[in-house]
Chain A
């Protein structure tokens, strides 16, 4: 008995400090970070969602309210609008950026001389701060001194559009900025896809007398279809994150014209100080996105298997 336990602690000691222990030490910091900063917060969201939370003189006061957040959800006049705006935004940007990204990838894969210059320039929008993208475009859209207005007035237009200040145009304005920002992302994935098409296949099509358009239609598109599909799914997931540029360009306005779900949760949290309800909405978003992400994992596995 004594010997058994000695052996056991010996094993533990070997595992922790012996020659093979690096295996455990090396991954431990990551696991600690993941458990503390990703698993616990989700548990905390669950707890917050069933609580009324308030800071009274700097002290957090928490009261259990069960499922009463569901009533708050039913009484929230904005959340439906926010979901609708988010869906319109996501569908629009994914469809447009798939097209622009694919077109750009085909075009740049066809050039040889300036290809490196194009590739470097194209990644700029993915690296500059989205907030700065927001200010850049707010200067362009500004209805008093902005670039577009200045040009339109020079051209003799009487009432130039108000862009982000017009409830009917605000969401479209935000979508245009997103296309400028994220086309590059679709381009990078599509370009990798095009470059993995065997050159012999394209060569064979060319020998058979196919022109560029027919090559795209009958060789590149069919070969790329799985990549395009997965890229669209991934972009859909990422598009749901949209926040920064909308915060800068419109703050969700005018009215609720560009109120998206992240913006709405942020306002519930920072302007209405309803921490519990914000947590509840966050949890809903997390649950909804989980379905999407699981579907993405499944689809990308199928595609990877098909591509071998």
Chain B
């Protein structure tokens, strides 16, 4: 018995060190965001916490975080809704409505292919389209790109959830006189609602953190999102570290909330495309 308990202690100590390594940078950015510039430069660990950096990024004249936050919320929420609707409809269709294996296989392979392409591949055509349709530098341009990026995740996650629903349920509904649409809407969707919610939340967070398209399809705070705003801090000649840290922490909030709600659905969604071992 003794030999067994000693390694358990070592194991837990090792894992706590890992937890520390993961959490420390997050803690460090919160700490920096609450410091005054003088305290940041002196590198002290003892300081008086102030919320001045947060006030500065949201209400200060040199910053436009209020607009960026508004854009981020519009983009992420729209993308979550669009992917939720299109993704769950399509996932239901290809997993339940007797499509030939070539159709379902073809769609799945194409979705995974899109998921694996480096996003830079789509930047130049999307840029031209955004310019041509006059949505360049608006949230609509970013929504367009994020919708495509997240569609594979939406469809594949929902297919997994539909696979767990017994087929007898919609058969019974159709026998009771429901159309396929009604069976889907009134019987299936209520059952997969927790999964649908998990998918929408995950898509929201992925859209929230996306940077490349938000950067390439916008140029002013009319269309830019929070990650672009943060990157701008770094590009400046005199980096305002405190405000940069405050902005970064604001950008992390959705992710941290999601971790608190973390559940197996979310974890599954993070490895879409991986072979189930």
Contacts and interface: CB of A to CB of B under 8 A. Distances in A.
Interface of A: 19-20, 22-23, 25-27, 29-31, 33-34, 37-38, 40-42, 44-45, 48, 53, 55, 60, 104, 107-108, 110-111, 113-114, 117-140, 142, 144-145, 147, 150, 180, 185, 188-189, 192-196, 212, 224, 227, 230-231, 234, 237-238, 240-241, 243-244, 247-248, 251, 261-262, 265-266, 269-270, 275, 278-279, 282-283, 285-286, 289-290, 292-293, 296-297, 300, 303-304, 307
B200 interface: no
A77 B270 CA distance: 37
Contacts of A286: 117-118, 121
A131 B231 contact: yes
A29 to B, nearest CB: 5
Interface in B40-93: 40-41, 43, 85-87, 89-90, 92-93
Contacts of B244: 135, 139
Contact of B121 (A45, A292, A307): A45
5 contacts: A60-B131, A121-B259, A127-B259, A142-B241, A289-B118
B251 A128 contact: yes
B118 A48 contact: no
Given A192-B274, A304-B275, 19 more contacts: A26-B93, A34-B110, A34-B151, A37-B148, A118-B15, A127-B255, A128-B209, A132-B251, A135-B234, A136-B25, A188-B271, A224-B277, A227-B277, A247-B215, A251-B235, A262-B119, A262-B212, A282-B123, A293-B117
| SS of B interface (majority) | helix
B211 interface: yes
B211 A189 contact: no
B255 A131 contact: no
Q: Per DSSP, are chain A's interface residues mostly helix, strand or loop, or mixed?
A: helix
Contacts of B87: 30
Interface residues on B, range: 35 or more
A26 B43 contact: no
Contact of A139 (B19, B32, B208): B32
Nearest to A278: B124
Contact of B93 (A23, A117, A129, A224): A23
Contacts of A140: 25, 28
B12 A111 contact: yes
B22 A180 contact: yes
Contact of A26 (B12, B92, B205, B216): B92
A269 B216 contact: yes
A104 B18 CA distance: 9
Contacts of A118: 15, 18-19
B231 A247 contact: yes
Interface string B1-17: 00000011001101100
B125 interface: yes
B124 A33 contact: no
A243 B227 CA distance: 13
**Which of A41, A53, A118, A128 gathers most chain B CB within 10 Å?**
A128
Contact of B90 (A29, A38, A244, A279): A29
A297 B248 contact: no
B120 A262 contact: yes
A26 B124 CA distance: 30
Contacts of B274: 189, 192, 230-231, 234
